[in-house]
């Protein structure tokens, strides 16, 4: 029986996860040096060491498809078991046609699979995850699973304030009953929405516009709002208390943002502002070092992947923490504009067994380092690579090796080469 008195399935959560990102990356120190900025600003001030950079042949379709293929393969799930596919993205490839339908085709999913794209800046995938949770809890899945993919390329443009907070990548999650990784607790989820102009990307622009410092304030206010709603939904904040949480995951546009979010989390729960170096600050720092900081390694070397950013931290935890099972984790997703959700889940007894299936270390180790000249060429080439009849972007130009790639637009139709199974 569910908390609201309806007969709903409660054992729902994340059964499988995988990541795929671009084959190239930039060292943040190299970017700082060429922009005349102290590297410590990017490395310590923002918390970023490296940034994944998508070539013109890698888009939200190819990254989403490979991540999803990996999740299916590594967790031994038949594509025929997928009954819902949702791609959360704010950098889709078409104003009308969803990324999800390309992914559906490339993975060979069943025709009766419900397929769509969700967009609400960086909140899109969390919206997909909670919709999948509701779909299964409501008994509509008929034993099938939902595939949720967060796929984005964060583009602010060369020499902008947002340039060091770019990145790219896709996280695929398969949601089902009796999950192997994380059981979601629907009664602890809360929502928040408010119309604000902190970050947006008009239809005519490949690059996002942001009022950066204001967006940080909006994010923090959204945390307070969503957390408050979660407490109301739970009827008590017992299960949400910080001392009940083994780890806290936040939307991570840059690593330092997680520290700011955790600061607000502590202040909201404690009902007090924490400044200076008093005892509360010592407590706050200890809590950050234990519950947040250890799980930001993937974010620091991949960068901002927009809607998948929070899930990267969750993956980092699941690949490294060796949880025994029963640990409660909090998830906070923020999408500019703005929409947000806070909720919790409980790690399953089997999660540690799948740590290696989740770990993207092999993929990251194969990435190629770009020098600044190549990085700037690549960003410029990406601006027009998908224009109709533009010269074919060639994976060999970027030394990409076998894989699934975008190769240009002909007769206004996007063309792809290779397959997810070819991708290293
Ligand atoms: C994030 C963003 C606002 C940073 O803007 P900025 O004006 O270039 O950077 P700041 O001057 O605020 O410096 C960033 C941090 O580095 C620190 N810093 C600056 N120089 C430093 C140095 N030499 N050594 C160490 N730290 C340094 C600053 O103190 C600051 O830390 P703090 O926020 O804890 O005070 C900007 O990159 C941006 O607009 N990004 C896109 C929007 C975004 O990511 N929004 C997040 C919410 S969704």
**Whose CA is closest to atom 42 on ligand 1?**
212
Dist. CA 364–CA 62, nearest whole Å: 17
Closest CA to 81 of 108, 51, 47, 53: 108
- Residue 7, domain member (yes or no): no
- Residue 5, domain member (yes or no): no
pLDDT of residue 398: 86
Domain that holds residue 251: 12-422
- Residue 3, domain member (yes or no): no
- For 313-392, strand residue ranges (E) read 328-335, 339-347, 368-369
The per-residue pLDDT for range 390-414, each reduced to its tens digit, is 988 889 888 898 999 999 999 999 9
- Residue 18, domain member (yes or no): yes
pLDDT of residue 303: 98
Structural domains counted in the chain: 1
- Nearest atom in ligand 1 to 260's CA: 34
**Whether the CB of 216 sits within 6 Å of ligand 1:** yes
**Whose CA is closest to atom 39 on ligand 1?**
212
pLDDT of residue 232: 93
Q: How many residues does the chain have?
A: 424
- Residue 295, domain member (yes or no): yes
**Whether the CB of 161 sits within 6 Å of ligand 1:** yes
In which residue ranges of the chain is pLDDT below 50?
Answer: 1-9
Which residues are CB-neighbours of 293 under 8 A, at least 6 positions away? 258, 259
The per-residue pLDDT for range 74-94, each reduced to its tens digit, is 999 999 999 999 999 999 999
Closest CA to 121 of 310, 308, 335, 333: 335
pLDDT of residue 61: 98
- HSE, side-chain direction, 13 A CA sphere, residue 3: 10
**Whose CA is closest to atom 8 on ligand 1?**
161
- Nearest atom in ligand 1 to 37's CA: 23
- Residue 277, domain member (yes or no): yes
**Whether the CB of 210 sits within 6 Å of ligand 1:** yes
**Whether the CB of 157 sits within 6 Å of ligand 1:** no
For residue 213, report the distance from its CA to the centre of ligand 1, in Å.
8
pLDDT of residue 276: 85
The catalytic site residues sit at: 90, 122, 251
Dist. CA 410–CA 408, nearest whole Å: 7
- Residue 167, domain member (yes or no): yes
- Residue 364, domain member (yes or no): yes
Q: What is the CATH number of the domain that holds 367?
A: 3.40.47.10
**Whether the CB of 38 sits within 6 Å of ligand 1:** yes
């Amino acid at each position: 029986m569910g908390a609201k008195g309806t007969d709903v399935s409660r054992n729902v959560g994340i059964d499988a996860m995988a990541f795929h990102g671009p084959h190239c990356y930039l060292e943040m120190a190299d970017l700082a040096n060429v922009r005349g900025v102290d590297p410590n600003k990017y490395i310590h001030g923002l918390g970023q060491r490296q940034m994944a950079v998508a070539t013109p042949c890698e888009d939200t379709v190819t990254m989403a498809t490979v991540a999803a293929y990996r999740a299916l393969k590594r967790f031994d799930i038949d594509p025929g078991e997928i009954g819902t596919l949702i791609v959360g993205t704010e950098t889709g490839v078409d104003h009308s046609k969803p990324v999800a339908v390309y992914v559906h085709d490339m993975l060979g999913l069943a025709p009766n699979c419900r397929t769509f794209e969700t967009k609400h800046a960086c909140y899109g995938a969390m919206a997909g995850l909670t919709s999948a949770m509701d779909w299964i809890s409501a008994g509509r899945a008929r034993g099938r699973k939902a595939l949720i993919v967060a796929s984005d390329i964060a583009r602010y443009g060369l020499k902008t304030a947002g340039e060091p907070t770019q990145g790219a990548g896709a996280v695929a999650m398969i949601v089902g009953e009796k999950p192997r990784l994380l059981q979601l607790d629907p009664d602890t989820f809360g929502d928040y929405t408010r119309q604000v102009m902190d970050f947006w990307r008009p239809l005519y622009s490949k690059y996002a516009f942001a009022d950066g410092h204001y967006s940080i304030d909006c994010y923090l206010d959204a945390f307070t709002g969503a957390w408050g709603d979660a407490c109301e939904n739970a009827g008590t904040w017992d299960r949400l208390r910080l001392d009940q949480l083994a780890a806290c995951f936040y939307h991570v546009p840059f690593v330092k943002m997680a520290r700011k979010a955790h600061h607000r989390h502590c202040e909201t729960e404690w009902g007090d502002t924490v400044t200076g170096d008093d005892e509360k600050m010592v407590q706050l720092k200890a809590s950050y070092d234990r519950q947040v900081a250890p799980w930001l390694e993937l974010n620091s070397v991949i960068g901002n992947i927009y809607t998948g950013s929070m899930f990267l931290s969750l993956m980092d935890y699941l690949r490294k923490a060796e949880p025994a099972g029963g640990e409660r984790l909090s998830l906070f997703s923020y999408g500019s504009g703005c929409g947000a959700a806070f909720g919790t889940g409980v790690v399953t007894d089997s999660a540690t067994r799948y740590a290696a299936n989740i770990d993207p270390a092999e993929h990251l180790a194969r990435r190629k380092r770009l020098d600044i000249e190549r990085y700037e060429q690549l960003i410029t080439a990406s601006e027009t690579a998908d224009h109709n009849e533009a010269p074919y972007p060639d994976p060999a130009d970027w030394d990409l090796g076998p894989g699934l790639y975008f190769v240009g637009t002909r007769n206004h139709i996007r063309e792809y080469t290779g397959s997810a199974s070819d991708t290293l």
